[in-house]
Amino acid sequence: MAERIFKRKIYEQMLAWKRNQHGTTALMIRGARRVGKSTIAKDFAQREYDSYLLVDFSNAPQSVHRLFEDVSNLDYIFTQLQLNYHTILKPHKSVIIFDEIQKQPLARQAIKKLVADGRFDYIETGSLLSIKKKKKDILIPSEETRIDMYPMDYEEFLWALGDNDTIPLLRTMFDARQPLGNDTNRRLLRDFRLYVLVGGMPQAINDYLNTQNLSIVDQRKRSILELYDEDFYELDPTGQTSDLFHAIPAQLNSNALRYQVSSVISGGKIDRLREQITILKDSMVANVAYHANDPSAGLASHINRNQFKLYCGDTGLFVTLAFWDDAFTENVIYQKLLSDKLNADVGYVYENAVSQMLTATGHKLYYHTWPTASGKHNYEIDFLLSCKTKVCPIEVKSSISNKHVSIDEFQNKFSSRIIQRYLIHTKDIRKDQDLLCIPIYMTPFL
């Protein structure tokens, strides 16, 4: 079956670029492999221009690659591109898409001259994995408007399922702090668990819509993870980057206060692995939460770069990665999620889902830990958000327990710095004094 074109929120950002920049910059869409960059670029070009030309540098002929070795004669380049791709470009009414531009960094360098020429608009897409590696040899153009593209968020997932109403209604209930009722909450949690299982990669969602078969969806996600591994090994033949990525579920499940590099790579130390951590972060396949030593306004100024946690950029991929060596039918997370028996021993799935939703809404990820009075244990705030001149601490709970000791102690210690406390759980929305408890599917409203 043909791939569907899903409605994506990034489309509005692309429209704003076209309307506001008027061709004075190229649009660079950054994101991990398989999040839908190429699809949205092509869809936008078809809808918003009289004609477009798409150069996919992953399979373009060498004659096209060689065009960018000398950009002194743009008329020649444009003529050759039109002949190669059987497309007529119309000045001020056409766009040229440079897809997988990391495969031809000279084309990215040429953006400065192409934009200055002014005849056409330009959209670039590519994986930061390879762009990071190759950009050292070229002059990165300043004439780029860069936007980040993430896996499909929960609202986009519901749109794909034909549901345009749930999220606006939930926002109304969130704003009013109005309970939904236990029956409604259980139904909404069931719907959200499906999103957690399938994830936000467009191909996985397309497979689910075509088959409703989670085994087929799991196979698709494994193929995407294998692509990531190929990229990791291209940049880091030692395999350490791949090892760090594959260990993310186990590291979260250990409930450690930081990612324990030495438990993944023998003798590994942060100072020796900064390049590998940077690859994971800049590729956007992983989200990094740094420890905030001082949980106050301006969190970025108080981070400890040696103490961090790693999350998968897509929770659907996280679920598959967690049981990478097991067959689909042996995947405990699938079984527990589908039967509504997710509990504390796999609650790290929900923590990863929260990290993904916070990242998609523009939040940087921070957390905070501090020792108990006895010094034998630690309190932990799972996520800290900057909120104006104060902070919003977040605790994530997947169990049915009503206890929230850490966030209460945080209140006792830092009350003057807090604007609002949140407990994200699987129950209905409610208030516990000044603590707002919300169901996990309302996380995007924070």
Kindly report, residue by residue over 304-320, the tens digit of the pLDDT: 999 999 999 999 999 99
Is residue 134 very low, low, confident or very high in pLDDT (cuts 50, 70, 90)?
Answer: low
User: Each residue of 329-347: pLDDT tens digit?
Assistant: 666 777 777 777 766 567 8
pLDDT at 338: 73
% of the chain at pLDDT higher than 70: 96
The pLDDT of 156-169, averaged and rounded, is: 98
> From residue 409, how far is each of 293, 317, 371, 403 by CA, in Å?
16, 34, 11, 12
pLDDT at 137 over 80: no
pLDDT at 117: 98
User: Each residue of 10-64: pLDDT tens digit?
Assistant: 999 999 999 999 999 999 999 999 999 999 999 999 999 999 999 999 999 999 9
pLDDT at 118: 97
pTM: 0.94
pLDDT at 391 over 90: yes
Closest CA to 8 of 28, 36, 49, 47: 36
Q: Point out the least confidently predicted range of 95-109, 222-236, 330-344, 365-379.
A: 330-344
Cβ–Cβ contacts within 10 Å for residue 339, how many?
Answer: 9
pLDDT at 1: 64
User: Each residue of 220-265: pLDDT tens digit?
Assistant: 999 999 999 999 999 999 999 999 999 999 999 998 999 999 999 9
Closest CA to 300 of 311, 291, 309, 310: 291
pLDDT at 133: 62
Distance CA 358, CA 364 (A): 8
pLDDT at 131: 58
Residue 195 in contact with residue 29, Cβ under 8 Å? no
Is residue 209 very low, low, confident or very high in pLDDT (cuts 50, 70, 90)?
Answer: very high
Q: What is the mean pLDDT of the chain?
A: 93
User: Each residue of 414-429: pLDDT tens digit?
Assistant: 999 999 999 999 999 9
